[in-house]
Structure 1
Amino acid sequence: MNREHPALPRLGGRRPSYRERVAEALRAALIAGELRPGEIHSAPGLAARFGVSATPVREALLDLAKEGLVDTVPNKGFRVTAVSERQLDEYTHIRSLIETPTTASLASTADPEDLQALRPVAEEIVTAAVAGDLIAYIEADLRFHLGLLRLAGNQHLVEVVRDLRRRSRLFGLTALAEQGRLKASAEEHLEILDALLARDEDAVRAVMTRHLGHVRGLWAAP
């Protein structure tokens, strides 16, 4: 599997600061399970791993500590926090309540050009899945789903889902990638777009339900 880290991710809507880009890359590594619960990491160690300087990594880790994703450990660094199975079930339930009906409603309201603009992102997810590049997969997946939700015109809803995703963990990604099964999950993003462009709200709802079900299967304790 490709273990080289990709270029730091882009954030939608504006040019992010370097600190924000580092924080997004670290969040992706947490969600993908590359940084495991209970592990303690130092800013210099993560800086070397990501090929960046230590200062923005330290600042980004402080941001992640405020979000509850890591805890500070005096004189050692930062410990990755754990997420319980009950929490994962609750995150999935809330996401399904928000994302499934919101995305399905776009079948009748979204501009086809706006939907087509997300196709390269969906294809990027598939490319990352085939390459086994988990951090790139998580980053592109985030841009895709938040991009869809933005089309509904409710920024507060977007931020709620962003926060839920930040708190999740996808420990099963590594196994799926090694088994060659991650591509099938990635291709569901293209299915969602095709159903939306076909104005088939029932199909969108069905694919979203299946897709989020697969996601919960990955949100599991190590």
Structure 2
Amino acid sequence: MTGVEQVGGRAAHASPGSPGSPAGRAAGPVAQSVPTVPTVPEQSRGEHTHSEPPAPRVALRGTVERSSVRGQVLDGLRAALLSGELAPGEVYSAPALGERFGVSATPVREAMQQLAREGAVEVVPNRGFRVTARTARELSELAEVRALVEVPVVSRLARTVAPARWSGLRPAALETLAAARAGDIARYADADRAFHRAVLGLSGNEQLVRVADDLRRRVVWAGVDLVGDAAQHVALLDALESHDLAAVSLTLAAHYGPHPTTI
């Protein structure tokens, strides 16, 4: 992302001994310029944050509207997690993050509960939410599950979908490449999920698309070669459009890891 305009305020407690920043934090710009966020009237009472030390600066992407406060906060938190602004192992309170977003603690708490269901954070009773630090084994297992879900479907679609239909996915693939070249992790995560949703959507199986989308939300992009990953999207489309099944198999194997594919 280009330049950063942060949302002011105060933020959350970090647990003693917590790491200051994630080891895998990606280099380069990670946030977009953000318009001023209007304050939403405080809805929760009896929660105090005046004694809390400064927290990582979290930015909302887009203008918050009353009808979509929770969704905007959830998007902002996801972007902060991807960029490393919310660090693995650190504990953040809903009231403190609410001050930074200019909203009450309630939509922040609801968004954090959703992130907890996705495995991105865990609830710390009476304190807030701790950002999950995923192990190398967990990430490997996640990659394997994604491959087991997606590769057979894409392999089948390569045989059955008319080449002309794949050309409509070219803009989505090019968007991942643009985000990767910009070093914008949050934008890349959104573009990657959109591309894979479009590919799997050709199966007509909405449940499959939802399951795969949920799995992709759990991906940790820090340390990943984004440009190389995006280039594989373009290469996959090239192979699909030309109906080159051998090239499709090779590209899928490279994109999802050493999992066998058969077309």
- TM-score between the two structures when normalised by the length of structure 2: 0.64
Change (3 A) 1:76 1:152: same
- Is 2:239–2:248's contact at 8 Å kept on the other side of the alignment? yes
Work out the CA distance in 1 between the residues paired with 2:139 and 2:116.
Answer: 19
Identify the residue that residue 188 of structure 2 maps to in structure 1.
Answer: 137
Matched, 1:192 2:219: no
Q: SS of the residue aligned with 1:168?
A: coil
Q: How far apart are residue 116 of structure 1 and its match?
A: 2.5
Q: Between the two structures, name the one with larger relative contact order (CA 8 Å, sep ≥ 6).
A: 1
Work out the CA distance in 1 between the residues paired with 2:246 and 2:73.
Answer: 39
Displacement over 6 Å in runs of 4+? none
Deviates more, 1:79-88 or 1:194-203: 79-88
Work out the CA distance in 1 between the residues paired with 2:238 and 2:96.
Answer: 43
Q: SS of the residue aligned with 1:71?
A: strand
Work out the CA distance in 2 between the residues paired with 1:53 and 1:192.
Answer: 43
Change (3 A) 1:102 1:71: same
Identify the residue that residue 204 of structure 2 maps to in structure 1.
Answer: 153
Matched, 1:84 2:135: yes
Give the residue type in structure 2 aligned to 1:123: L
Change (3 A) 1:60 1:71: same
Matched, 1:95 2:139: no
Percent of aligned positions that are identical: 45
Greater helix share, structure number:
1
Change (3 A) 1:42 1:95: same
Q: How far apart are residue 89 of structure 1 and its match?
A: 1.9
The superposition leaves residues 69-112 of structure 1 with CA deviations (integer Å, 9 ceiling, x where unpaired) of 21233454321122232222221112122222211222232354
Deviates more, 1:106-115 or 1:40-49: 40-49
- TM-score between the two structures when normalised by the length of structure 1: 0.75
Work out the CA distance in 2 between the residues paired with 1:191 and 1:52.
Answer: 43
Identify the residue that residue 13 of structure 1 maps to in structure 2.
Answer: none
Change (3 A) 1:20 1:116: farther
Deviates more, 1:22-31 or 1:71-80: 22-31
- Is 1:23–1:60's contact at 8 Å kept on the other side of the alignment? yes
Work out the CA distance in 2 between the residues paired with 1:52 and 1:132.
Answer: 28
Work out the CA distance in 2 between the residues paired with 1:52 and 1:152.
Answer: 41
Identify the residue that residue 172 of structure 1 maps to in structure 2.
Answer: 223
The superposition leaves residues 121-179 of structure 1 with CA deviations (integer Å, 9 ceiling, x where unpaired) of 21111111111111000110011112211111222222222222223322214xx4xxx
Q: Unaligned regions of 5+ residues in structure 2, if any?
A: 1-27, 35-60, 259-263
Alignment: residue pair count: 200
Matched, 1:2 2:35: no
Identify the residue that residue 87 of structure 2 maps to in structure 1.
Answer: 36
State the Cα RMSD in Å.
3.0
Q: SS of the residue aligned with 2:31?
A: coil
- Is 1:100–1:205's contact at 8 Å kept on the other side of the alignment? no
Matched, 1:104 2:155: yes
Identify the residue that residue 208 of structure 1 maps to in structure 2.
Answer: 252
Change (3 A) 1:63 1:124: same
The superposition leaves residues 8-34 of structure 1 with CA deviations (integer Å, 9 ceiling, x where unpaired) of 49xxxxxx9553354245335435655
- Select which of 88, 107, 117 maps to 1:66: 117
Identify the residue that residue 18 of structure 2 maps to in structure 1.
Answer: none
